Amino acid sequence: MNLIITCPRHLEPDTEDELKDILEEFGDTDLKVTITSMSGILTAETKLDPVEVVRKMKEMLLDEPWSIRYCKRVIPIQKVIESNIDEIEKTVDELSNQISEEETYRISIEKRNSDLSSKEIITKIADKIKNKVSLEFPDKILLIEILGSKTGVSILKKSDILSTEKTKRSMSE
């Protein structure tokens, strides 16, 4: 998986169709979408750059707000690992070079079907990264998405995550 998609409950099949249509339009005819056992959550594996997919979906939304109806959030994932604290720590260590020295960061953890301790994860990771923390306006977000036995890790700018509702709301302001 290199994308996590959230949608309204019980609309997963419609979201899957919508996502396949959109990504086919972007040039990925081989998209693999999985409806997870968690209500309102799908994962996808695209051959396209996931951050680029989010950027194009944002443009699409700004041009035609009605074109995306079911996808609520689309989150690019850089690396998928087993859900355990040591693996997460090791992966963050590998990816943390994407945060340059002068950039601030925030750790965001989304847990579903997991009893891993967010506090323990944050403590282990924060010790490794020497940059300043900014909870309000970080330059980068260290995102840890725990979905049961699998965890997706990404280091992203806030603009790399698509929230269709926020994007639509910003258009009406």
Q: Residue 84, Cβ neighbours under 10 Å: how many?
A: 12
pLDDT at 24 over 90: yes
The residue among 75, 34, 33, 71 whose CA lies nearest residue 54 is 75
Q: What is the pLDDT of residues 44-100, one digit of tens each?
A: 999 999 999 999 999 999 999 999 999 999 999 999 999 999 999 999 999 999 999
Q: Determine the 3-state secondary structure of 52 from DSSP.
A: helix
The residue among 131, 133, 77, 128 whose CA lies nearest residue 106 is 133
Q: What is the pLDDT of residues 98-137, one digit of tens each?
A: 999 999 999 999 999 999 999 999 999 998 899 999 999 9
What single DSSP character describes residue 133?
B
Residues 141 and 137: their CA atoms lie apart, in Å, by: 10
Contact status, residue 152 vs residue 4, Cβ threshold 8 Å:
yes
Structural domain boundaries in the chain: 3-78+160-167, 79-156
Contact status, residue 152 vs residue 79, Cβ threshold 8 Å:
yes
Largest CA distance in the chain: 44
Per-residue pLDDT, 96: 94
**Domain topology for 79-156:** VC0802-like (3.30.2130)
Q: Which residues contact 8 (CB under 8 A, 6 or more apart)?
A: 40, 70, 72
